[in-house]
């Protein structure tokens, strides 16, 4: 087993990103459905991202950030 910071379990990263995104979304007072509708991203996909089950790509990270009115790098600060 590996425990160093340099060898993080990749699934941990996706879960941490998803929790961070959900936190920002709730801070905006938005439901998952509203963020999905406003961003044009399917709600089922968004739900998977927030649960850390999707390896979201750059263009969708950008789309979510733009929709939430924040800088894309803010979504990676977790």
Residues that bind a second copy (CB under 8 A): 6, 10, 13-14, 17, 55-59, 61-62, 66, 71-77
Q: Find the shortest distance in angstroms from Cβ 72 to a second copy.
A: 5
Closest contact distance (angstroms) between CB of 31 and a second copy is 21
Compute CA distances 74 → 63, 69, 78, whole Å. 13, 10, 8
Q: State which residue, 42 or 76, has the beta carbon closest to a second copy.
A: 76
Q: Is 63 exposed, middle or buried (0-12, 13-18, 19+ CB in 10 A)?
A: middle
């Amino acid at each position: 087993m590996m425990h160093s910071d340099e060898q993080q379990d990749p699934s941990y990263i996706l879960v941490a990103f998803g929790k961070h995104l959900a936190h920002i979304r709730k801070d905006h007072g938005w439901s998952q459905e509203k963020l999905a509708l406003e961003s044009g991203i399917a709600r089922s996909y968004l739900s998977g991202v927030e649960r850390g089950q999707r390896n979201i790509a750059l263009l969708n990270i950008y789309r979510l950030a733009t929709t939430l009115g924040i800088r894309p790098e803010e979504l990676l600060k977790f």
